[in-house]
Amino acid sequence: MHDARMAVVLLSGGMDSAVAAAEARAQGFAVNALSLRYGQRHRAELEAAVKVAESVDAARHVMLDLDLRAFGGSALTADLPLPTHRSPGEIGSGVPATYVPARNTIFLSCALAWAESLGAYDLFIGVNALDYSGYPDCRPEFIEAFERLANVATRSGTEGGHFTVHAPLLRLTKRDIVQRGLALGVDFGMTRTCYDLSSAGLACGVCDACLLRLEGFRAAGQADPAPYRSRS
């Protein structure tokens, strides 16, 4: 144990959670990284999560198994076709097929359980409401409702402590996220965002997640250092 306040940081291996983890560290928290193996297609993300955890000197990294395929209902966990679009502007505003029912509710619940066991009161999640507003559990209303729940659901919350759900990327554009990450020293080359990663960890460059990521780097005037299948 050391003197820093502890935070539980949800880490997917993608660029957003890497920036959230770097924010937690920059704010002086000792990072306790939590990743879930929930049956996602893009498991190479979890290998990226291990590298990201190391890069922020995580005190601990728990990899939790919870197979959401038992419930079905998402292109990210079932054998449904992934949506494809030609540009970020085409992606639209509905809830995408890659929405995993209640995923962030489950992830934050697990983070809360661990935080309470550790004696931590700060949860970090890399959700972002602006660039891809289709996910209901990436909105400010969701974060507020979860924080409220956390403080009535737990011993720590009812005995005088106060849980805070930090979503430092909530109102940033992808361009802002790239710039903020670079300012914090995030090595985006170790992160993986693609919905259809190859087993070697190469991104497809054409799924919605890749389109948004590449557009963020383009808008920031930066090259994406992550490896792509369709680019050198």
Q: Least CB distance from residue 93 to a copy of itself, whole Å?
A: 12
Q: Least CB distance from residue 154 to a copy of itself, whole Å?
A: 6
Nearer Cβ to a copy of itself (33/186): 33
- Interacting residue ranges for a copy of itself, rule: CB under 8 A: 62, 64-68, 70-74, 95, 99-106, 109-110, 112-114, 116-118, 136-137, 139, 141-142, 145-146, 148-150, 152-155, 157-159
Nearer Cβ to a copy of itself (23/137): 137
CA–CA distance, 58 with 69 (Å, rounded to integer): 29
The single-letter DSSP state of residue 51 is H
CA–CA distance, 41 with 203 (Å, rounded to integer): 12
Q: Least CB distance from residue 144 to a copy of itself, whole Å?
A: 8
Say if CB 18 and CB 31 are below 8 A apart: no
CA–CA distance, 58 with 17 (Å, rounded to integer): 13
Nearer Cβ to a copy of itself (157/201): 157
**Encoded amino acid at 164, one letter:** T
Look at the alpha carbons of 82, 83, 85, 91 in this order and tell me if their dihedral is positive or negative: negative
Q: Least CB distance from residue 73 to a copy of itself, whole Å?
A: 3
Nearer Cβ to a copy of itself (32/191): 32
The single-letter DSSP state of residue 190 is G
